[in-house]
Structure 1
Amino acid sequence: MKSNYNVVNNVLGWVAFAIAALTYLFTMEPTASLWDCGEFITTAYGLEVGHPPGAPLFMIIARFFSLFAPSPAQVALMVNAMSALASAFTIMFLFWTITHLAKKLVAVKGEISKGNLIAVMGAGMVGALAYTFSDTFWFSAVEGEVYALSSLFTAVVFWAILKWENVANEKYANRWIILIAYLMGLSIGVHLLNLLAIPAIIFVYYFKKYKPTRNGIIAAFSLSVLILGVIMYGVIPGVISIASWFELLFVNEFGLPYNTGVMFYAAALIALVVWLINFSIKRGMVVLNTIVTAFVVIMIGYSSFSMIVIRSSANPPMDENNPDNVFALLSYLNREQYGDRPLVYGEYYNAPAVDLVETKPVYIQKKDKNNKDRYVVASHKQQYKFDSRFNTIFPRMYSSRANHVHEYEYWGDVKKNNPIQVGDGETVYKPSFGSNIKFFLSYQVNHMYWRYFMWNFVGRQNDIQGHGDILHGNWISGIPFIDEMKVGNQDKLYPEMANKKSRNTYFFLPFLLGLIGLLYHYKSSKEGKQDFFVVLLLFIFTGLAIVVYLNQAPYQPRERDYAYAGSFYAFAIWIGFGVMGLYQWLSKKGPSVLTAGAVTAVCLVAVPGLLAQQNSDDHDRSGRYATLAYATNYLNSCDPDAILFTYGDNDTFPLWYAQEVEGIRRDIRIVNLSLLAGDWYINQMRTKAYDSDLIPMSLTADKVEPGIRDQVPIVERLKGQELLSEMIKFVGSDNDATMVETQSGKKLNYFPGRDVYVPVDSLKVLANGTVQPEDADLIVDKLEWKIKRSYLYKNDIMVYDIIANNNWDRPIYFSVGMGVDSFLGLEKYFQLEGAAYRLVPIETKPERNEYGHINTELLYDNYMNKFTFGGIKDPDVYVDQFHILTVNIMSFRSNYCRLASALNDQGKREKAIDILDRCMEELPTNKIPFDNTLIGFIQEYYRANATDKANALLSDMAQQSYDKMNYFLSLDAQRANAFKSEQEREVRVVQMLLGLADMGEQTKLREDLQLKFELLFTAASGE
């Protein structure tokens, strides 16, 4: 039966692969997705340098897949296919992992009965397919991100240690250990999550080689944590850190060229390991030989990061952080631009800062006066020291951001009962350690892990990011009385929420089957119980251990379930064991073969089948081009040779992808404001990229080195206005007369005044199209504004520098997705041209967060003829919440309405109707939720005499408000009170709708609506 087992096991493993591969290939996104996908695909296609700490191996493999793309437009498809195939291979190795562990429980001297064989294979298939169709893993499997490839490494290394287990006492068995070490080294070039499998691997080795004892288990656990720490904090940064010591010595002390120290260090390291391997072989020191060889292959795998340095040295268009030398690479690997967070010991969020101290130096390459290579200290990293009375072990509540503090106090139930006198007698209330732990358990463990776990194995309410309320992002089961306790009455849940495709319910079936498997595994034989603890370690270290390590603050930019995919992988093993548990119980009551087949069939339908049925509609991205359309709309909003300021990831990465991969509008220079704080990025803007010319700036490279003008205080000196270019010149001056000394003794430049202006050449702005001829009478003599802040950051200064030196030569645009603070006071001189605001010499007073002058002909052409929305209107295309929010769909609705209003003001009613119809067609209300913007649509339809369209939309919107209020009024008093503001908002909406009905002279419609809502409130009051 042994050979038969191997054949069946191999064939069914590939069947699991095929099912997963076909699922993912048919549901993957055909182009770039949101978040980091656009950047990853771009870096792979052009072998460029992405954000720290980089993913060079992902980049290399994805580049290989991109070679098969018939055109640049299919590059993203091929990279997504790489993720799909990597995920499918993960499923295959999961299948073999489950069958390996399950077989050990039922095989007798290597032999296995037919009934047991069916049960083992059924366990493998149920567990593997349950993970295939699980929410988190399926999401990552169909996009060009690192998590699919990272999951494959985790699956392979865990499978490999089980293969070692089979041959552990045979000659050359340690080759499996060396393979695992090599895969670990490679995985560093994808993502560090794979390293968290190390404790489980160590225990497989321990249980196989040693008789378990209490002290032995403690020692094995300690060793596993030590190895994990050595790799994460020793090998990864340590090897580069030591290289930096040699480099500094050889260049600065010995006067040798750049990289001499690094090359000497590399040669010395290679010589050392060669000697150690040779020494260990001659002395027969197997353990030393294995350790050194493992280190060597880890370093070979880790060497993929040489690609980062090589490509950075070539200065590609995307070269984030410019890690072209050992010091920059070390900063890059350590993710220093993101700051750090306390883990073991640190401050509470309200700890008073008592000092700002300088820490390690920041080295840059700079020739000395004799033109010799040197590393000089440009600045020092700075770190706040806090009042030690506010420090605690295991600090969970550390961020001082106002919105974080509010959530800390909510989730931690912080009481103001521990007053401490600080400073000038001010009283500050230190949170208790109990509140600290309560926040950890309620938010970090429950909300940011357990909620995600339940999404995958119990059910998910919707894909709207939740922050603790009962309507968004919770887990639900589909069992009414349980869900009512969790998220309130579901019978009257309004259709917008009740009918979302992302509302998936599994009735606890995957969870219960996994729980049965967990208990069965724990209560199995001695060897099986050892395997249980191995899987448990994998489950904990890829779950709760990550929770502790990440130490997440509230209001994360997006849901973080992808970080815990390894934990869900481990639970899927137990889902497979659930089949074994049921089989072992039921086989006592009937024929084993029949029982095994029946249990497998039922479990396949009840768990993977249910997961596939529930998740397929909201995980199918096969027709969605919204991200690319969004990027294209942004770029096509701009005139040729424009400078486009963006801010965050999602209004930059898709644009990078569109430009650099698909070649769309390469004449536009994208300037990311968050990156513009870095000297490396500023200097990259001084070079030409594709069809985009360099950006002129007056502040030279030496004026923006690290630590110089990072934050400039504004100290008023001059009265009256000052020319912006003169102000920038003043800021760039190194004359002591232009500097102010801070409390720390450090001298900083400061601004001479708050009132600045930019002159306007009216003939020039008309000639180059900055202002349309019909708007010539609106041109102002100068742009003038007041700087209202007390300081400006380096990126703010550089924006002003770019504007001052542009001299109206190139169009300048700001993304509509930015916050008003990023507009730097210029918003009154904006012109809305689609998905971006253009800086124009026309003053428009902002109203209700609506900015920009509108030229109706220009904007009409852009919205009607240039904008596309990537198939959002297609009934089969699912649009998740982040596309609705991030792709600025609501902003587009608002701006379409603004244009319609302007057209109606000009008496162009047909065009106003056209533009409203176009928006309603491309962004229909059955795909994009109703919002207050549509009130303006109703008004403009009435103004354009499109009464039937206005009436229909008004009725639909009123029904939405009715359904929402009916739901809110059905809640118990405590929950209803949480939605008081939403109820009040809906009341205001209804009042506006009634007013619009009056405006459109729709008396009957108004009376019907008023009666309907009066009856609703009457019923709710019980009268």
Structure 2
Amino acid sequence: MNSVWGSFRRINRITGWALFLFSSIIYLITIEPTVSFWDCGEFILSAFGLQVGHPPGAPLFIMIGRIATLFAGGDTSRVALMMNALSAISSGFAIMFLFWTITHLAGKIHGKGSEIGKKQIPAVIGSGVIGAMAYTFSDTFWFSAVEGELYALSSLVTGLVFWAMLKWEEEADQPTSGRWIILTAYIMGLGLGIHRLNLLIIPVLIFVYYFRKYEVTRAGVIKTFLISVTALYLMVFVLIPGVPKIAGWFELLFVNIFGLPYNSGLIFMVILMIAIVSYGIRYSIIKRKVVLNYVITAIAVIMIGYSSYAMIMIRSSARPPMNQNNPSDIFSLSYYINMEQYGSSPKLYGNYYSAPVIDVKSIIAGYNKIDGKYKPYYRPDYVYNKEFMTIFPRMYSSDPEHETAYKYWGRITGKRYSVSSGSGNETIICPTFGENLRYFFRYQTGFMYLRYFMWNFAGRQNDFQGNGNSIHGNWISGIDFIDEARLGKLDNLPDDLKNNPARNTYYFLPLLLGIAGLLWHYRNNRNDFWLVSAFFFMTGIAIIFYLNQYPNQPRERDYAYAGSFYAFSVWIGLGFMPVYEFLKKYLREHLSSAVAFIILLTAVPLLMAVKNWDDHDRSGRYTARDIGANYLKSCAPNSILFTYGDNDSFPVWYVQDVEGVRTDVRVANLSYLQAGWYIDMMRQKAFDSDPMPLSIPKDKYIEGVRNQLPVNSRLDKPVPIRQVVEFASQDDRKYMIDINGRGDYLNYLPANKFIIDVDPETVLSNGTVKDYFRDRIVSPMIWEYTEDDAFKGDLAIMDLLATNNWTRPVYMSTTVPSSQYKGLDKFFVQEGMAYRIVPIKTERPEQGDFGMIDPEVMYDNMMNKFGWGNAADPDVYLDENNRRMLSNFRRIFGNLGNALLVAGDTARAVEAARKGLEIVPSSKLPNDYFSMSLAEVLLRAGKKEEAEKVIDDILDYSREYLEYTVSLKPEQRFGLDYATGINMQSYLDLYNMSVKLELDSLTRKIEPEVSNFYSLLYSNK
């Protein structure tokens, strides 16, 4: 090895570690100091207590996270910070490996080994720095790097695997080079315990091997492609689901046939696998079959990595407080790994959304442990009309909301089919295959991938979640005529869109540099170009194909494609080379490297850093933690709190499980309550909260029974709820109905009006009803169930209300959808961010959104107990999710203020209204429709000047949006119905308020504007 090559390797190594240090510091400076919204809370508490999170699990990430949490030093308030730091440091390592990947590829083109020239070193190093730093400051990667999610570690695994295979390529002629292949396989196996999308790089690795070991021919490329696709298929669809499936066969044999204990078949299979692999390795060594040895050893180390899932079974068997799906046996683990609770989307062949069902079959869904045996339970398997089946199905969900979106994105006119049904013939529209492809290209590829790609390399419009309209979540470039051609006028954008911190424009510079690098790479090394292209494709378009996403996703999904953006950043780095080579024609070689580096560093990474800093800096933000705590602080001691979604559950679980906030409250997620395993989980003590009081035996709610209970109201009069629960719990068919005349029996509810006993003295003495509401108690309480069907979770709630007998407070969070109330909202009293179920009937909401308000309890909670996570700090960035949550608080404070006014407490009503305006200033969250109630409180309390300021803000905000909407072409107004409607509603509500409160000047001001906007927006409809 000559001194030049040695010098290059030393500089390369030092620069890589320097970039790791630099990027890690950037991410550590900007990490969120506590829990974030979405899945972060669940992952952090899973790591902290080695608990079992949602399928398919991430056991290795959880175990590594557990080690990270130990650095909190026993301070539970720093646990989330340590998990976030794990993401930051993992991301720093990913940047380091990206740098080394770029310099490897660039160095190969300029020669390898001792052939690299001294003058070429700065260019190769410079290309690596430019590409790595561009990815450091890219939108998607930076977002994942500063929160306690698994995608940062997953990106590290993907980058490390690719780099390790390139290291094998570098040393392929050495006798010890095979160690890199085994290392690559082992890392991929470990990656299964983080995220299985890492497997999509398998074809890339196989092509690295082919290009290095064989002469490239067309036939060879085709053969390698087929091998790589087959290997990927076997890994994703055979190995991962197949291992637990085969273990299940042994388990059934050993337990159900041989009568041995649970898990005996699993243990036998593990021993058998170890024996087979050991024999295979020994045989390959004796027979000197090198390739066979590599294959068997690679499979062995992959399985060692995959064995991290043993942690899931072990911890599930310990029954931790969070034990999702209870995967304590091989069958529930298989169900868990395959994410069967979420259903599946067809990949190669399946139905369209409008396909009529022509038959329903029953197939085994899983097994329950009963009396020392495994007994199967079943699920329906729908058979669809063949006319509505297609290859490559993209539009498959029958959800009405999804159907509407399919029609928009696919521009569906379809083909009409006459189909016979129980009520005669009906005409059903079936999309054409062309429309199916149009949806794939417009929505799945264009909106759910290319939009994210352009966010990272062209620019981002704002941080609002996109739904296809022209004002939220699109990509922009900063070049007005290009952006206006797609999205409409820019000169009169509403201020909160124009000044959104996430409005970042790069003027296509990263994209153009990446394209330059792509073309240069193609010209200079086509084999490596195809490798990076395969990496780019498999972590981008291939994921689109695999996920087959339905429209209107609950959140942005750009994090799924971070690997694709990683690959493109390789080309951004290589884009340095054509610029350097161009400048070399006019400048000396060493000078051309420096000039190219300064120009490109400024034009791409530095530009991205400056633009992205303000909306990726989460330092000082504690909103998710405090909002989670606020839900718990809304509840009385030893209560039960029902939540529903991710963002009203995960932060709550986090603050309770990790930081120990209100551990006396039992938190139950209504979405999970439909599963028997979750009901079983609710029946065990957790922390300081007692088990949920339920009377139904376990065998009445295990998986596969009472999933749906039709409401067949044969009785006109109300029935005691205890009798209804007991009736629905019977296994005798005389308590069931045949739902289709074919012998398919289901339990049902014999009534839709339930009597819940109420002892007025008991509910007064235990605080269920405050003494000042004594006269409003109803005894008994008659609950009219409002749905046609009940489900397992509804039966559990009925059982709870019957068994609890008002001994423990029961709440629903204010974010639970009204569709989940099932008529209980008439018995709500709001005490903060939760509604308490009480025996007081409110036919129409009083001051609040549902039921009534207890102003005394609610005032104390919201004014004295709640925290707001530094939301008012002007230096703390609030993204759209945080702003949406906080705007909801303004409305709740307004409801509280109105309740206090009704109670005659004007002073505290004003305090509540002012607090609602103070928690987040209008400079960060403009006063809009959700501030209306605050303005009304201030007006009614005589604070006219303060109220007029809020009203002016609301009018300015609504006027800006409506004027902008009017300026758009009709086709550019798609998806703006909600924004238009709510801003028109602001005008109408202010107008009605001005009339009611006799504010003549305000009435005169608003009336012509209302008429004008209504005429412009609705007169032609």
| TM-score greater than 0.5 by the shorter chain | yes
The residue aligned with 1:4 is 7
Partner SS, residue 521 of structure 1:
helix
Q: How many angstroms does 1:981 deviate by?
A: 7.0
The residue aligned with 1:938 is 935
Larger mean CA deviation between 730-739 and 554-563 belongs to 730-739
Partner SS, residue 990 of structure 1:
helix
In 2, Cα distance between equivalents of 1:904 and 1:567: 57
In 2, Cα distance between equivalents of 1:234 and 1:1020: 56
The residue aligned with 2:510 is 510
In 2, Cα distance between equivalents of 1:241 and 1:425: 43
Partner SS, residue 641 of structure 1:
coil
Q: 1:1002 to 1:713 in 2, by over 3 A?
A: closer
TM norm structure 1:
0.96
Pick from 226, 241, 244: which aligns with 1:240? 244
The residue aligned with 1:898 is 895
In 2, Cα distance between equivalents of 1:251 and 1:936: 64
**Is the contact between residue 38 and residue 653 of structure 1 (CA under 8 Å) also seen in structure 2?**
yes
- Whichever residue aligns with residue 608 of structure 1, its letter is P
Partner SS, residue 379 of structure 2:
strand
Deviations 1:377-423 (A, max 9, x none): 2x123211111111000000110100100111111111144333333
The residue aligned with 1:496 is 496
Partner SS, residue 585 of structure 2:
helix
Larger mean CA deviation between 938-947 and 632-641 belongs to 938-947
In 2, Cα distance between equivalents of 1:981 and 1:40: 34
- Whichever residue aligns with residue 844 of structure 1, its letter is T
Larger mean CA deviation between 132-141 and 12-21 belongs to 12-21
Larger mean CA deviation between 973-982 and 108-117 belongs to 973-982
The residue aligned with 2:217 is 213
In 1, Cα distance between equivalents of 2:915 and 2:534: 55
Q: How many angstroms does 1:992 deviate by?
A: 4.2
- Whichever residue aligns with residue 557 of structure 2, its letter is R
1:729 correspondence with 2:726: yes
In 1, Cα distance between equivalents of 2:890 and 2:993: 19
- Whichever residue aligns with residue 469 of structure 1, its letter is N
In 1, Cα distance between equivalents of 2:1014 and 2:400: 38
Q: How many angstroms does 1:873 deviate by?
A: 0.9
Q: How many angstroms does 1:7 deviate by?
A: 1.2
Deviations 1:443-499 (A, max 9, x none): 000000000000000000011111111000000011110110121111110101100
In 2, Cα distance between equivalents of 1:29 and 1:982: 30
- Whichever residue aligns with residue 60 of structure 1, its letter is M
Partner SS, residue 364 of structure 2:
strand
Partner SS, residue 114 of structure 2:
coil
Q: How many angstroms does 1:553 deviate by?
A: 0.6
In 2, Cα distance between equivalents of 1:308 and 1:798: 27
**Is the contact between residue 448 and residue 557 of structure 2 (CA under 8 Å) also seen in structure 1?**
yes
Q: 1:52 to 1:1005 in 2, by over 3 A?
A: closer
Number of aligned positions between the proteins: 1010
- Whichever residue aligns with residue 14 of structure 1, its letter is W
Q: How many angstroms does 1:994 deviate by?
A: 4.9
Q: How many angstroms does 1:361 deviate by?
A: 4.8
Q: How many angstroms does 1:1000 deviate by?
A: 6.2
Q: 1:719 to 1:972 in 2, by over 3 A?
A: closer
In 2, Cα distance between equivalents of 1:978 and 1:246: 54
Partner SS, residue 383 of structure 1:
strand
Pick from 274, 278, 281: which aligns with 2:285? 281
Pick from 392, 395, 399: which aligns with 2:393? 395
In 1, Cα distance between equivalents of 2:436 and 2:935: 50
In 2, Cα distance between equivalents of 1:876 and 1:973: 39
Q: How many angstroms does 1:80 deviate by?
A: 0.5
In 1, Cα distance between equivalents of 2:505 and 2:920: 28
Q: How many angstroms does 1:107 deviate by?
A: 2.5
Q: 1:730 to 1:564 in 2, by over 3 A?
A: same
Deviations 1:642-690 (A, max 9, x none): 0111112221111111111111111000111111111111111111111
The residue aligned with 1:870 is 869
**Is the contact between residue 618 and residue 876 of structure 2 (CA under 8 Å) also seen in structure 1?**
yes
Q: 1:849 to 1:558 in 2, by over 3 A?
A: farther
The residue aligned with 2:95 is 91
1:357 correspondence with 2:361: yes
In 2, Cα distance between equivalents of 1:43 and 1:834: 28
The residue aligned with 1:580 is 577
The residue aligned with 1:415 is 413
1:880 correspondence with 2:879: yes
The residue aligned with 1:773 is 771
Pick from 625, 642, 646: which aligns with 2:622? 625
In 2, Cα distance between equivalents of 1:1005 and 1:709: 57
Q: CA RMSD in A?
A: 2.0
**Is the contact between residue 418 and residue 432 of structure 1 (CA under 8 Å) also seen in structure 2?**
no
The residue aligned with 1:31 is 34
Deviations 1:943-1002 (A, max 9, x none): 101111011112222222232233223323543587577556545533543555566666
In 1, Cα distance between equivalents of 2:117 and 2:245: 57
**Is the contact between residue 758 and residue 784 of structure 1 (CA under 8 Å) also seen in structure 2?**
yes
Deviations 1:19-55 (A, max 9, x none): 1101100100111111111000111000111111110
Q: How many angstroms does 1:779 deviate by?
A: 0.9
1:22 correspondence with 2:21: no
**Is the contact between residue 461 and residue 502 of structure 2 (CA under 8 Å) also seen in structure 1?**
yes
The residue aligned with 1:338 is 342
In 1, Cα distance between equivalents of 2:440 and 2:66: 41
Partner SS, residue 534 of structure 2:
helix
In 2, Cα distance between equivalents of 1:893 and 1:596: 56
Q: 1:937 to 1:160 in 2, by over 3 A?
A: same
Q: 1:981 to 1:545 in 2, by over 3 A?
A: closer
The residue aligned with 2:886 is 889
Partner SS, residue 115 of structure 2:
coil
Q: How many angstroms does 1:931 deviate by?
A: 2.5
* Structure 1 residues without counterparts, runs of 5 or longer: 368-372
Q: How many angstroms does 1:810 deviate by?
A: 0.2
- Whichever residue aligns with residue 478 of structure 1, its letter is G
Deviations 1:779-825 (A, max 9, x none): 11122122232221111111111111100000000111111121121
- Whichever residue aligns with residue 312 of structure 1, its letter is S
In 1, Cα distance between equivalents of 2:36 and 2:401: 29
Partner SS, residue 381 of structure 2:
strand
The residue aligned with 1:370 is none
In 2, Cα distance between equivalents of 1:814 and 1:84: 36
Q: How many angstroms does 1:176 deviate by?
A: 0.4
Q: How many angstroms does 1:1009 deviate by?
A: 6.5
- Whichever residue aligns with residue 45 of structure 1, its letter is F
Pick from 225, 228, 241: which aligns with 2:229? 225
The residue aligned with 2:308 is 304
Q: 1:859 to 1:1015 in 2, by over 3 A?
A: closer
**Is the contact between residue 396 and residue 440 of structure 1 (CA under 8 Å) also seen in structure 2?**
yes
Q: How many angstroms does 1:1008 deviate by?
A: 6.3
Q: How many angstroms does 1:890 deviate by?
A: 3.1
Partner SS, residue 589 of structure 1:
coil
In 2, Cα distance between equivalents of 1:641 and 1:867: 19
The residue aligned with 1:711 is 708
- Whichever residue aligns with residue 513 of structure 2, its letter is L
**Is the contact between residue 639 and residue 809 of structure 2 (CA under 8 Å) also seen in structure 1?**
yes
The residue aligned with 1:813 is 811
The residue aligned with 1:755 is 753
The residue aligned with 2:57 is 54
Q: 1:543 to 1:967 in 2, by over 3 A?
A: same
Alignment of structure 1 residues 468-487 onto 2, 5 Å: 468-487=468-487
Partner SS, residue 689 of structure 2:
coil
- Whichever residue aligns with residue 494 of structure 2, its letter is Y
Larger mean CA deviation between 900-909 and 92-101 belongs to 900-909
**Is the contact between residue 40 and residue 147 of structure 2 (CA under 8 Å) also seen in structure 1?**
yes
Q: 1:677 to 1:972 in 2, by over 3 A?
A: closer
* Structure 2 residues without counterparts, runs of 5 or longer: none
Q: How many angstroms does 1:773 deviate by?
A: 1.1
Pick from 167, 189, 207: which aligns with 1:185? 189
Q: 1:406 to 1:1010 in 2, by over 3 A?
A: closer
The residue aligned with 2:557 is 560
Q: 1:671 to 1:980 in 2, by over 3 A?
A: closer
**Is the contact between residue 966 and residue 1016 of structure 2 (CA under 8 Å) also seen in structure 1?**
no
Partner SS, residue 911 of structure 1:
helix
Q: Percent sequence identity over matched residues?
A: 46
